[in-house]
Structure 1
């Protein structure tokens, strides 16, 4: 936990806390694996701003087993294997980097079949972000399933990242032609994830390469660095296409030139899960579980998303790994369930 903002090795510490009890509409989860996302270290450092620091347990995503259920909870029971997301949103003590966490039942979702806790802790924010980005285009679809993106071309910027990985897999499962951009050193990650075509964003003819795969243009761009990539996106976007923006890695400001966007009828859609609305999060979780059941959303080295493990008492090192740009998914192992 931490009760002040700052570097991971300075403010994060392992402490004993009372095991909380769930109240109305809540469940208690015995955490097996906690997932670390960029949003976790950014919140811990104060990058998002905010008021005075409060006692907080880090990490929004995780997976484990329900071991207590509060009144008025339906559809979940003690013993259920679940994955959880946004555990600490407006509940700073409910982060998943602890042995037990209590969350509203609406934030916990059944972990299908024999899906691993590692998978459950890896999806959460990355997969729901990808789902949202793939379902905001004019005319839909608003849900993902096999055939939902038939005939569509999706460009995934940063195809080697966790969100990019999920976007490749979900788009391909839904029937899209998937093009990804990566650095030359990370091409294999996007290829292994299932991208039909991978282009180095460093190539001066990157737009021409993408256009060769999509002569009529790209329908949806899943964008991680809009300030840097906007010119490339506009060069390959079809008229009335959508650029779904979930981050701006590199921090180059986005400058919007009206004329080319008017000509394309471009739709810029910003994506942030904290304020997107729980009805969209719940719908995304249902589709993600369907993809998991179909075997379409694997993680690990053989799926293009290496997993990096840290024990609970090394959560600070896990945060540092994500903050320094580790390729793949960083996980904190909490319990062997």
Structure 2
């Protein structure tokens, strides 16, 4: 089978296309024929060594966490999946160096799989893995808020999404809108504003703007209930300005920041602010599977979709050009980068 691998950390040039044996599933494992792989920032960061900066020499590794495809074989003791089932994958590459989705066949444990709903394409299954699960987690950690998403779950809530044209920001807008929230988002330019509006944001505001806090307060006079935050240190003061009492700031990034977050004690304690940091790798299997169920419900309901008409331009690459796909994400391309691995049928 064809697979893309790297055996040292570095730029996209360390990725190469090779031939490997088709792996066999063991007990509790499933072999998936990967149709579409997706590239996320975590994938190029792992490839460069930013995720494990002090790691020793690495084994030959197949990159990419997200993907979707068809169950090709099941190992002993596997229940719930059968050959021919359409699935999407949850943090595939975290299972081991041979498990990434930039290959024609991947072997994974059953808890790394989620069924792909009828009528939902492989593109959505691959493209909304990490972004949608991250957004789901951010939207379900709020003080006084729901732990699961469904239509009406966020009714009466106002959600502020920082960076609404990014992959997680887009998923957060779509999921929050589907769950009934009033969605406010911030973007840096008109092109990104158009994407955030297409995603379904009710209010799209530009930054930088010295009056941004007051503009948000005009929309939400009592303050926003939840902030989905990609730029924690940059937006620390703004978030306190616009957050309601017992509001929550769900942090998944520090874009444009310093890596250090300084908090004013009295301002935070008087509001009873909840800060929830989040990363999917350590959130727990139960949270991931619950998130996958809700994401599937949104996909099946049409509340979550890829495409420029939903604020997610798609950029496609063949498997042989995985290095270029990684380079595009590393250079900050807006939208979703997908890799065509094998035919859909």
Q: Is the structural similarity TM-score above 0.5?
A: yes
Distance 1:196 1:71 in 2: 49
1:1-337 correspondence runs (5 A): 1-9=5-13, 11-48=14-51, 49-52=53-56, 53-185=58-190, 186-252=192-258, 253-337=260-344
Contact 2:119 2:300 in 1 (8 A): no
TM, length-normalised to structure 1 = 0.98
1:139 to partner: Cα distance: 2.9
Say how many residue pairs are matched. Answer: 336
- The CA deviation string for residues 24-83 of structure 1, in whole angstroms up to 9 with x for no partner, is 111111011001000000111111224222211000000010100111111111000111
The runs of 4+ residues in structure 1 deviating greater than 3 Å are none
| Unmatched tracts of structure 1, length 5 or more | none
| Unmatched tracts of structure 2, length 5 or more | none
Distance 2:250 2:109 in 1: 28
Distance 1:286 1:74 in 2: 17
**RMSD of the TM alignment (CA)?**
0.9
- The CA deviation string for residues 79-116 of structure 1, in whole angstroms up to 9 with x for no partner, is 00111020011412100001100111111111101211
Distance 1:65 1:122 in 2: 16
- The CA deviation string for residues 232-257 of structure 1, in whole angstroms up to 9 with x for no partner, is 11110001100000111123231112
Distance 2:206 2:78 in 1: 48
Distance 2:286 2:274 in 1: 22
Distance 2:76 2:46 in 1: 31
